[in-house]
């Protein structure tokens, strides 16, 4: 739309170096790297249409991340928490299930079952099953 004026992006040296590091690092999530390239291009003076064409993305995407950076700086580029149910099983519970599985055996059996371990640690059988599956544990083998 011709009536919209793009936000001006001015970077400090620390912000520029952080954005370059995130954009170049191999382990950075691809979405974050694209956002960094958007901001770096905006700071170089390119308009939203030019940035979109250069990076092969939509103009609305460029506008969104440019405005978010201007409002929240580097914190604005990080993914916000997504909606949904929060975790109900803490890391300590997961660790307890794993260590109990690997380091102990039940009194009346040779290995843990999901039900017997669930009763021992105070979680549901389904929770124990999911933890075992996530960590590749198979105490019956």
Q: From the CB of residue 98, how many other CB atoms can be counted at a distance below 10 Å? A: 15
Instruction: Identify whether the C-beta of residue 76 lies closer than 8 Å to the C-beta of residue 69.
Output: yes
pLDDT digit string (tens) for the chain, length 141 residues: 455 777 778 888 999 999 999 989 888 788 899 999 999 999 998 899 999 999 999 999 999 999 999 888 888 888 777 788 888 999 999 999 999 999 999 998 999 999 999 999 999 999 999 999 999 999 988
The radius of gyration of the chain from alpha carbons, rounded to an integer in Å, stands at 24
pLDDT at 3: 54
Q: What is residue 122's predicted lDDT score, i.e. its pLDDT?
A: 95
Task: Determine the pLDDT at residue 20.
Answer: 92
Work out the angle at residue 96's Cα, subtended by the Cα atoms of residues 91 and 100, and round it to the nearest 5 degrees.
155
Alpha-carbon distances, residue 104 vs 29, 89, 99, 139 (angstroms): 39, 21, 8, 11
In the numeric block, which tokens belong to residue 40? Answer: 């770096």
Where are the strands (E) in 38-95, listed by range? none
The dihedral built from the CA positions of residue 110, 113, 118 and 121, taken in this order, carries a sign that is positive
| Per-residue model confidence (pLDDT) at position 9 | 82
- What per-residue confidence (pLDDT) applies to 78? 86
């Amino acid at each position: 739309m011709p009536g919209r004026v793009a936000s001006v992006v001015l970077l400090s040296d620390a912000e520029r170096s952080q954005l370059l590091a995130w954009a170049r690092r191999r382990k950075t999530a691809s979405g974050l790297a694209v956002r960094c390239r958007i901001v770096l291009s905006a700071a170089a003076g390119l308009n939203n249409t030019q940035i979109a064409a250069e990076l092969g993305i939509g103009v609305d995407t460029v506008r969104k991340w440019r405005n978010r950076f201007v409002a929240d700086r580097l914190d604005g580029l990080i993914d916000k928490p997504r909606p949904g149910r929060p975790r109900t099983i803490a890391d300590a519970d997961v660790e307890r299930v794993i260590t109990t599985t690997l380091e102990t055996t039940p009194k009346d059996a040779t290995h843990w079952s999901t039900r017997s371990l669930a009763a021992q640690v105070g979680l549901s059988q389904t929770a124990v099953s999911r933890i075992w599956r996530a960590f590749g544990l198979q105490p019956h083998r």
